[in-house]
Chain A
Amino acid sequence: MDRTQPKGLPTRVPVGTMGDGGTTYSGVNPNAVWLNSRGIWLSYVIAVTILHLVLLSIPFLNVAQAWTLTNVVHNIGNYIFLHMLKGTPWETNWDQGKSRLLTHWEQIDFGEQFTTTRKFLFLAPVILFILASFYTKYDPLHFIINLSTMLLVLIPKLPQLHGVRIFGINKY
């Protein structure tokens, strides 16, 4: 990660880095670059909050259920958009079909691991899990649901699973 770049600049584009078998990145991946902006992180937090408030306002759901549902909806959405959908709607010069087999998560920051954006996306489900655990009063059933959906989105984010398709699921 480039720590010398001022905060004001929107994106970090590794120009001239020879990370990927001799490919020089001369462009950006418009599909992933927007996730790097701080405004998007704020919007993410606001969106989850709104989701939670909407669920809380449903009359027959109690607080515990609302929290677990928030967590589950968030995690499933996170899984679909970051780990299931592949490719990019904007195929740029840089791409030349490169993103066709990569999930959105794998496209972030040209595949660089543990960048700030990735850390943020790691952190979000963990914080939600801790909050949900607290508000469900550590109920075992809620715990199982929350933990399993959290693992669903945390495990595919690990560097060890970068580009790995278990049993070839979702490979092409």
Chain B
Amino acid sequence: MAVEDVMVEPWYMMQMVQAFLQAPVYHIVIEVLLIVWIIGLLFSKSYRIQERVQLTEKEKEDLLAEWKPEPLVPDTPEDHPALHPRVVSGKAGLKVVVDGKECLNLATLNFLGMLGNKRIEKAANTALYKYGVGSCGPRGFYGTVDVHLDLEDKLAKYTRTEEAILYAYGFATIASAIPAYSKRGDIVFCDEGACFAIQKGLLASRSKVVYFKHNDMEDLERLLKEQAKDDKKNPKKAAVTRRFVLVEGIYMNYGDIVPLPKLVELKYKYKVRIFIEESASFGVLGDNGRGVTEHFGVPIEDIDLISANMEMSLASIGGFCCGDSFVIDHQRLSGQGYCFSASLPPMLSVAASEALRIMEEKPGIFEELRTRCQWLHAKLSSIPGLKVCGEPISPIMHLQLAAPSSRAEDTKKLETMCNECMNQGVALTVARYLEQEEHLVPPPSIRVAVNVELTEDDIDHATAVITNVAKMVL
């Protein structure tokens, strides 16, 4: 009965006020403190926690005194290559006209001779008249044309994956794909010799990057073991950390091939995801040019993401990623290069499609290319004073000095060699890097690119010229 009384008893304002007046002292004290505190808080100024570090006047002075302004345009050395540009006229096919002189082209990464191919040119031309030049928008914003979808389909079928995604710029392909998956707090194990595009992708990903020795699977395993040990100590953190291994099929800067079977073994042992950048190996390795997976007979499903640019074997522009649908689809909203860049011009997409068709029709072309690579590799290896870096079947070879001295001197020597070779009718180029920006600058070298159209005579001629020039310069 008493309980019911309490429940129906009305709460008059008078009683409330009385209760307030009879409130215990501790309660009043706490409420007053609370009110004072909250009023203080309401009038406090906003600030960033990181900005709380205040420099003293002296520290400020010191910092100002330390600062030395750099010139807006620094002095350029007389022999800077940018001051002496070489002009290429016409197409850079098997033969290239440099400064008016026709040379054998060993500088362009045109492995399958698709550059200047008449069939591709015709197809691209037809597309030009049908679609115009540009696509006028990103893929998700009126920039998708049927030929893009068609090429994506074809690439997926060709690589035997579920889906492919097109990018408008080769460099941006892997540089966008990495940050789409790997975020802050994730870990990427990357080969030290990885190309510049991969390094930029890693930078954009904000992930923790662990470099392992170039092509050294034991070093990678050591690092993975260390990581596994750390993970055991902190399983909660491990549960939310993604782990990736990033390698290239054929290394652009070294010309060697990644030991994929061992890598796949490590993948399942240590639970990491594999991303392969296949720019130099797509259209080169394997019986059908499917790349390094076909070369080693590794099922392509074991690789989580494959990325390649279409600027080498396919002689178009742009790049693609391929893999499982649920992996690739993620890039359609998260790949920065895909979302925020105008799509590939339709005619270039058609050119790549046509090149892919040629690759399908002539599967012998890859074996032919590799034979030529082996020929050239063997010939170049015999040149005294130079050393060839890379696998014999790689279409990219790096000619380094057998007896290196300082970097500047070596580069100068190699540049002189290239110029001299050019005068004698063989176009070559020194491998160029943004040296301050590279993680690990490879030793200076001449980058030789193999074209499937090279004949034995061409190879003999080129080798003879390089041998002569090497004798003269070194």
Contact A162 B30 (CB under 8 A): no
**Does A41 interact with chain B (Cβ within 8 Å)?**
no
Interfacial residues of chain A within 8-31, with CB under 8 A of chain B in the complex = 17, 19-21
Q: For the complex, give the distance between the alpha carbons of A172 and B50 in Å.
A: 22
Interface size on B, residues (CB 8 A): 41
Contact B38 A172 (CB under 8 A): no
Contact A123 B46 (CB under 8 A): no
Contact B41 A113 (CB under 8 A): no
Determine the residue in chain B with the shortest Cβ distance to A171: B236
Contact A114 B185 (CB under 8 A): no
**Does B324 interact with chain A (Cβ within 8 Å)?**
no
Chain A residues with Cβ below 8 Å from B205 are 96
Chain A residues with Cβ below 8 Å from B184 are 96-98, 100
B interface SS class: helix
Contact B16 A114 (CB under 8 A): no
Q: For the complex, give the distance between the alpha carbons of A159 and B186 in Å.
A: 27
Determine the residue in chain A with the shortest Cβ distance to B9: A62
Count of inter-chain pairs, beta carbons less than 8 A? 96
Partner of A143 from B11, B27, B45 at Cβ < 8 Å: B27
Given contacts A97-B184, A100-B240, contact A159 B31 (CB under 8 A): no
From B18-26, B138-146, B441-449, give the one contacting chain A: B18-26
Partner of B38 from A93, A118, A123, A135 at Cβ < 8 Å: A123
Determine the residue in chain A with the shortest Cβ distance to B237: A172
**Does B179 interact with chain A (Cβ within 8 Å)?**
yes
- Nearest-Cβ distance from residue A104 to partner chain B, whole angstroms: 17
Chain B residues with Cβ below 8 Å from A21 are 50
Chain B residues with Cβ below 8 Å from A17 are 48
Contact B49 A111 (CB under 8 A): yes
Closest 9 CB pairs of A and B: A97-B183, A97-B184, A137-B19, A138-B23, A1-B46, A19-B48, A114-B46, A172-B236, A172-B237
Listed A/B pairs (17) with beta-carbon separation below 8 Å: A19-B51, A20-B50, A96-B204, A100-B183, A100-B184, A110-B48, A111-B48, A112-B47, A112-B48, A114-B45, A122-B38, A123-B38, A130-B34, A130-B35, A133-B31, A159-B49, A171-B236
